């Protein structure tokens, strides 16, 4: 089965997200209403995600004791969010105004979401590709998040209210991902999955990083990549591929980086640090006389990739059939990894890539999903602002 976290690179004009100087986006911390709606005993059965369910979405929300170390009466009990109660195409997505705000576990923080990003795993999950290991429906989708901490659990050690954070909120992407995702006003996340937002990045840029940069980094680590080794990246202009190039160069110390891209994107991948830019529309990378210590395949060409790797080398596979010595993995979300990479982001050595069609506003989530599912996105598809 195709890896659910992968994306495909297609010829498309690239644009690095850069707010224009005359109309900069305003990343202003949202002021939350201090009015808590009154409830009668007859109103405790909530309508959740457009389904008449006599329960909240979290399985333990009603029975679990409160784990909150700090509270604020300004946090409402309901929020706006996108959800689906059945698997299917984009039409199953529904905008709801009365989604129950998730309650905290002891090791979690509540985030006021400012921006969120979409990944291929989001729409493949919605299509039911891994429903055997999915959490129960209904679901608020979304893995990547950037926002502000507004409440902390009793066992949270480092984060505090007011911290600007980012992360991939699902530790195991395919194994019971949470029902409360990032496409809502609030989401509850374990502290260990988060890091402080890099100071030089806005929320849009930060939201597009977590899952992609963690996938890029973990794949390089699993391949045993290290200083002095060479690498070939298939799909160098994509969300993951563009970060593999940058991490290989600035974090791991690659001796040589080659990457494939379409003709219009060759200059772009060179700007990321590529030494040998290969136009896949004109030449076959496996026919090159030079072989590489690692081939990182983000586009599903493992049968060809294994012909470009040195004997004893590794081929990282994100999608498509796997041919030895290729291997596939599913990323594990890790806030410590983000903390380790923050200095490279804050120095500007590693840069986020946001698709030029974005960011998509919160009321255009269906359009954002449809665009992502065409496979033509360059970099990350980001949703901003979230009310």
Q: Indicate if the pLDDT at residue 24 is higher than 50.
A: no
Measured CA to CA in angstroms, residue 117 lies from 65, 183, 298, 319, 339 at distances of 32, 9, 19, 20, 19
SS3 content of the chain, % helix, strand, coil (to 5): 20, 25, 55
Q: Which residue has the tokens 């994107």?
A: 265
Separation between Cα atoms, residue 386 and residue 134, nearest integer Å: 25
Please tell me whether the peptide bond between 246 and the residue prior to it is cis, using omega within 30 degrees of 0. Answer: no
Bigger pLDDT: 66 vs 275: 275
Contact 241, 219 (CB under 8 A): no
- 47 falls in which pLDDT band (50, 70, 90)? very low
| Whole-angstrom distance, CA of residue 183 vs CA of residue 140 | 6
Residue 53: per-residue pLDDT:
30
Q: What is the percentage of the chain residues whose pLDDT exceeds 70? A: 81
Range of lowest pLDDT (53-62, 117-126, 223-232): 53-62
Over residues 269-277, the mean pLDDT reads: 96
Task: Please tell me the predicted confidence (pLDDT) of residue 72.
Answer: 60
DSSP 227-264: TT-EEEEESTTSHHHHHHHHHHHHTS--SEEEEEE-GG
Q: Is pLDDT at 13 greater than 60 in this prediction?
A: no
**Least confident stretch, 25-34, 71-80, 328-337:** 25-34
Question: If we measure between CA atoms, which residue out of 279, 282, 285 comes closest to residue 231?
Answer: 285
pLDDT over threshold 60, residue 20: no
Predicted confidence (pLDDT) at residue 69 exceeds the cutoff of 50: no
Mean pLDDT of the chain: 85
Indicate whether 293 pLDDT > 90. Answer: yes
Q: Are 150 and 191 in contact (CB under 8 A)?
A: no
Q: What is the mean pLDDT of residues 203-230?
A: 98
> Residue 319's pLDDT band (boundaries 50, 70, 90)?
confident
Q: How far apart are CA 99 and CA 364, in angstroms?
A: 18
pLDDT in tens, 165-209: 999 999 999 999 999 999 999 999 999 999 999 999 999 999 999
Range list of H helices, the chain: 120-126, 203-207, 210-222, 239-250, 266-271, 302-305, 335-346, 365-373
Q: What is the DSSP letter of 298?
A: S
Predicted pLDDT at 283: 96
Is the per-residue pLDDT at 33 higher than 70? no
- What number is the average pLDDT over the span 272-301? 97
**Does residue 106 surpass a pLDDT of 60?**
yes
**Lowest-confidence pick of 53-67, 81-95, 280-294:** 53-67
Pick the closest to residue 198 from 350, 30, 334 (CA basis).
350
Q: For 139-159, give the DSSP string.
A: BB--SEEEEEEEEEBTT--S-
pLDDT of residue 73: 60
Phi, psi angle pair for 311, to nearest 5°: -60, 130
On the question of pLDDT at 103 being above 80, the answer is yes
pLDDT score of 360: 98
- Per-residue pLDDT, averaged over 227-237, amounts to 96
* Residue 40 pLDDT > 50: no
Residue 43 reports pLDDT greater than 50: no
Do residues 141 and 122 lie in contact, with contact meaning Cβ atoms separated by under 8 Å? yes
Q: Tell me: pLDDT of 54 over 80.
A: no
N- to C-terminal Cα distance for the chain? 37
> Global pTM?
0.82
* One-character DSSP codes across 84-130: BSS-SSGGG-EEEEEEEPPPPPTTEEEEEEEEEEE-HHHHHHHTTTT
Question: Which uninterrupted H or E stretch holds 328?
Answer: strand 326-328
Residue 37 in this model has a pLDDT that exceeds 90: no
């Amino acid at each position: 089965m195709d890896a659910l976290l992968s994306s495909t690179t297609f010829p498309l004009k690239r644009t690095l997200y850069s707010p224009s100087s005359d109309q900069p986006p305003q990343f202003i911390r949202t002021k939350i209403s201090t009015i808590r709606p009154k409830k009668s005993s007859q109103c405790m059965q909530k309508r959740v995600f457009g389904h008449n369910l006599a329960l909240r979405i979290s399985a333990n929300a009603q029975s679990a004791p409160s784990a909150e170390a700090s509270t604020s009466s300004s946090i409402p009990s309901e929020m706006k969010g996108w959800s689906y109660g059945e698997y299917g195409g984009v039409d199953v997505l529904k905008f709801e105004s009365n989604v129950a705000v998730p309650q905290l576990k002891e090791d979690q923080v509540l985030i006021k979401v400012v921006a969120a990003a979409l990944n291929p795993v989001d729409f493949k999950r919605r299509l039911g590709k891994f429903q055997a290991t999915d959490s129960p429906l209904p679901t608020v989708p979304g893995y990547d998040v950037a926002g502000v901490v507004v409440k902390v659990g009793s066992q949270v050690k480092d984060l505090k209210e007011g911290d600007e954070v980012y992360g991939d909120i699902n530790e195991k992407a395919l194994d019971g991902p949470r029902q409360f995702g990032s496409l809502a006003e609030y989401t509850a996340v374990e502290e260990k999955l988060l890091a402080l937002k890099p100071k030089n990045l806005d929320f849009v840029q930060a939201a597009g990083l977590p899952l992609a940069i963690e996938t890029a980094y973990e794949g390089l680590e699993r391949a045993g990549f290290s200083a002095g080794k060479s690498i070939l990246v298939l799909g160098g202009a994509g969300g993951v591929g563009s970060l593999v190039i940058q991490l290989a160069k600035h974090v791991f110390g690659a001796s040589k980086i080659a990457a494939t891209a379409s003709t219009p994107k060759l200059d772009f991948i060179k700007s990321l640090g590529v030494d040998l830019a290969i136009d896949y529309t004109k030449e076959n990378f496996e026919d090159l006389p030079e072989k590489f210590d690692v081939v990182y395949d983000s586009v599903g060409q493992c049968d060809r990739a294994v012909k470009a790797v040195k004997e004893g080398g590794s081929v990282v596979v994100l999608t498509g059939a796997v041919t030895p010595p290729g291997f596939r993995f599913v990323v594990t979300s890790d806030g410590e990894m983000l903390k380790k990479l923050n200095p490279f982001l804050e120095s500007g050595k590693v840069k986020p890539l946001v698709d030029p069609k974005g960011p998509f506003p919160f009321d255009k989530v269906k359009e954002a999903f449809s665009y992502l599912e065409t496979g033509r996105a360059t970099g990350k598809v980001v949703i901003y602002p979230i009310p």
